[in-house]
Amino acid sequence: SFQAHDIRKWTKDKHQRVDDTPFGGGPGMLMSCQPLFDAVDAVSTAGCEVIYLCPDGELLNQAIAQDLAS
């Protein structure tokens, strides 16, 4: 089984923002790292496996999902 968490619970600003503009400028938004780190630290327990999905990571397919489930 898995459990999803709302990372806005670990923000430190009153608007609970989890993204910001890129430091070098340009289009788009980037995820802020501190809420992510704080969320993972808060919900991690010894022996648990944390799966963080990212755009340049390995494609999550059915075979990988079944392997993770076993």
**pLDDT digit string (tens) for the chain, length 70 residues:** 678 889 999 999 899 999 999 988 899 998 898 998 999 899 888 788 778 778 888 899 999 989 988 8
Q: Is residue 16 part of a domain?
A: yes
- Put simply, whether the predicted model's pTM sits higher than 0.75 gets the answer no
Contact between residue 53 and residue 60 where contact means Cβ atoms under 8 Å apart: yes
- What pLDDT is recorded for position 49? 78
Q: Give the domain CATH number at 20.
A: 3.40.1280.10
- Whole domain around residue 13: which residue ranges? 7-69
Q: Is residue 1 part of a domain?
A: no
- 61 alpha carbon, distance to own chain's centre: 19
Q: Is residue 64 part of a domain?
A: yes
Domain count for the chain: 1
Q: Is residue 2 part of a domain?
A: no
- What pLDDT is recorded for position 55? 81
Phi-psi region of 50 (alpha: psi -120 to 50; beta: other; left: phi over 0): beta
